[in-house]
């Protein structure tokens, strides 16, 4: 990373900090965040401290972690598949993770062991990435891969709906439905503790592949001639993406288009270096999801808008613009 780009990267992290503080301020109840924080440190049982500790800090932390994980996973997939339209949700990775997570929830296995839910989502994400890697060999071309991803999305979404149709009661069905729409509301510090280790491991694995992704952008033969063991790096990328997407889906459901929007917005700052884009995507994704989650709380409605709905409203037109741009460049 060049020294000229470092100040911009630090400014982006500063924006993340400001948006995180804004997220702590936003909510139906008005509190003084710094007073509540002082009460928390002094172990005071004030209402402000309870709201901050039990509601707003977990929500803000999960928004930051989920956004960063989704964005870096999208950037890594675009570098691995050498496809600018690759993202976890468009390729069915998030939906496959959600399918296995719904199965764990449906059979009640998550109540027996907390780690089964993120593990199931992680395995679903890994299976989807492996399938997509095989398809890239048999279906060359950007649009073929996107169509294959859409087919996988349709299949897993249909299977998820089929599983939900056998929900034991309408309340369980409604809870699962809202979870699938994507949200970080009504989460606790326990959810943060579940997701954090997987997200840290996944992001570390992806960042360690930066130089390999730079070499891979020149072609597989060139990367191999430069001494990069591509098979080993592919597995590292698969595990990294699976950890990030699995953990994000397990605690927040399907929040779409973050892995598509952020890398494209930040790529002009990174040039043709996928490895550098990984570092920029972390704060970029965190900032986008923090801002979006603050906005859904400010929208006047009888029921809070789901975070995944807002990101889809932003990402859908963005995806269409990218398709039109690629078509015009041909």
Tens of pLDDT along 274-285? 999 999 999 999
Residue-wise pLDDT for 241-251, tens only, equals 999 999 999 99
Residue 306 has pLDDT above 60, yes or no: yes
Averaged pLDDT score across all residues of the chain: 88
Place of tokens 């990218």: 322
Instruction: State the Cα–Cα distance between residues 268 and 219, nearest whole angstrom.
Output: 21
pLDDT-derived band at 328 (thresholds 50, 70, 90) equals low
pLDDT at 1: 54
Instruction: State the Cα–Cα distance between residues 288 and 20, nearest whole angstrom.
Output: 11
Residue 254, token pair as written in the block: 């399907």
Angle at 177 between CA 175 and CA 183, to 5 degrees: 80
pLDDT at 133: 80
Residue 11 has pLDDT above 90, yes or no: yes
pLDDT at 230: 87
Angle at 5 between CA 320 and CA 24, to 5 degrees: 70
pLDDT at 28: 86
Instruction: State the Cα–Cα distance between residues 36 and 53, nearest whole angstrom.
Output: 9
Q: Bigger pLDDT: 169 or 162? A: 162
Please compute the mean of the pLDDT values over residues 84-100 and round it to a whole number. 89
Instruction: State the Cα–Cα distance between residues 329 and 193, nearest whole angstrom.
Output: 45
Q: Give the best-scoring range by mean pLDDT among 103-117, 301-315, 316-330.
A: 301-315
Please compute the mean of the pLDDT values over residues 32-45 and round it to a whole number. 90
Q: Bigger pLDDT: 321 or 111? A: 321
The residue length of the chain stands at 330
Verdict on whether the full-model pTM lies above 0.85: yes
Fold annotation for 6-329: ABC transporter involved in vitamin B12 uptake, BtuC (1.10.3470)
Instruction: State the Cα–Cα distance between residues 90 and 256, nearest whole angstrom.
Output: 8
Residue-wise pLDDT for 215-265, tens only, equals 998 888 898 898 999 889 989 999 999 999 999 999 999 999 999 999 999
Closest CA to 139 of 91, 72, 76, 89: 91
Place of tokens 């699976």: 242
Instruction: State the Cα–Cα distance between residues 38 and 103, nearest whole angstrom.
Output: 42
Please compute the mean of the pLDDT values over residues 71-90 and round it to a whole number. 90
pLDDT at 303: 80
Residue 63 has pLDDT above 70, yes or no: yes
Residue-wise pLDDT for 134-149, tens only, equals 877 776 665 677 788 8
Angle at 325 between CA 259 and CA 146, to 5 degrees: 50
Residue 160, token pair as written in the block: 């998820």
Q: Are 295 and 76 spatial neighbours (Cβ–Cβ below 8 Å)?
A: no
Q: Bigger pLDDT: 163 or 9? A: 9
Query: 294: which residues sit within 8 A by CB, 6+ positions away?
Result: 19, 22, 23, 26
Closest CA to 89 of 193, 241, 275: 241
Instruction: State the Cα–Cα distance between residues 94 and 147, nearest whole angstrom.
Output: 16
Residue-wise pLDDT for 166-214, tens only, equals 777 676 677 777 778 899 998 999 999 999 999 999 999 999 999 999 9
Please compute the mean of the pLDDT values over residues 29-38 and round it to a whole number. 90
Q: What are the DSSP calls for 154-176, one per residue?
A: HHHHHHHHHHHTT-SSHHHHHHH
Residue 7 has pLDDT above 80, yes or no: yes
Query: 56: which residues sit within 8 A by CB, 6+ positions away?
Result: 23, 24, 27
DSSP-derived 3-state class of residue 144: helix
Q: Give the best-scoring range by mean pLDDT among 22-31, 137-146, 285-294, 315-324.
A: 285-294
Place of tokens 């399907």: 254
Please compute the mean of the pLDDT values over residues 87-110 and round it to a whole number. 86
**Rg (the chain; Cα; Å):** 20
């Amino acid at each position: 990373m060049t020294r000229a780009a470092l100040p911009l990267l630090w400014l982006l992290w500063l924006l993340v900090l400001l948006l995180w503080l804004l997220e702590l301020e936003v909510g139906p109840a008005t509190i003084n965040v710094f007073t509540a924080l002082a009460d928390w440190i002094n172990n005071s049982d004030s209402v402000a401290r309870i709201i901050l500790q039990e509601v707003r800090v977990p929500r803000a932390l999960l928004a930051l972690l989920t956004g960063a994980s989704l964005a870096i996973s999208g950037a890594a997939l675009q570098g691995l598949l050498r496809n600018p339209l690759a993202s976890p949700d468009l390729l069915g990775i998030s939906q496959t993770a959600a399918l296995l997570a719904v199965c764990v929830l449906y059979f009640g296995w998550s109540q027996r062991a907390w780690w089964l839910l993120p593990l199931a989502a992680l395995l679903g994400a890994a299976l989807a990435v492996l399938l997509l890697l095989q398809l890239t060999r048999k279906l060359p071309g950007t649009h073929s891969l996107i169509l294959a991803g859409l087919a996988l999305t349709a299949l897993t979404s249909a299977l998820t709906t089929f599983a939900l149709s056998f929900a034991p009661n309408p309340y369980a069905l409604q809870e699962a439905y809202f979870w699938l729409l994507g949200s970080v509301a009504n989460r606790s510090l326990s959810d943060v503790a579940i997701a954090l280790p997987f997200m840290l491991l996944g992001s570390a694995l992806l960042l360690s592949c930066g130089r390999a992704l730079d070499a891979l952008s020149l072609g597989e033969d060139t990367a191999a001639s430069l001494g990069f063991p591509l098979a080993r790096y592919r597995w590292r990328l698969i595990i990294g993406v699976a950890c990030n997407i699995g953990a994000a889906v397990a605690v927040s459901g399907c929040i779409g288009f973050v892995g598509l929007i952020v890398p494209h917005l930040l790529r002009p700052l990174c040039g043709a270096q996928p490895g550098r884009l990984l570092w920029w995507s972390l704060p970029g994704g965190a900032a986008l999801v923090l801002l979006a989650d603050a906005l859904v709380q400010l929208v006047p409605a009888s029921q809070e808008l789901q975070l995944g709905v807002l990101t889809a409203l932003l990402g859908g037109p963005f995806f269409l613009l990218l398709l039109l741009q690629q078509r015009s460049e041909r």
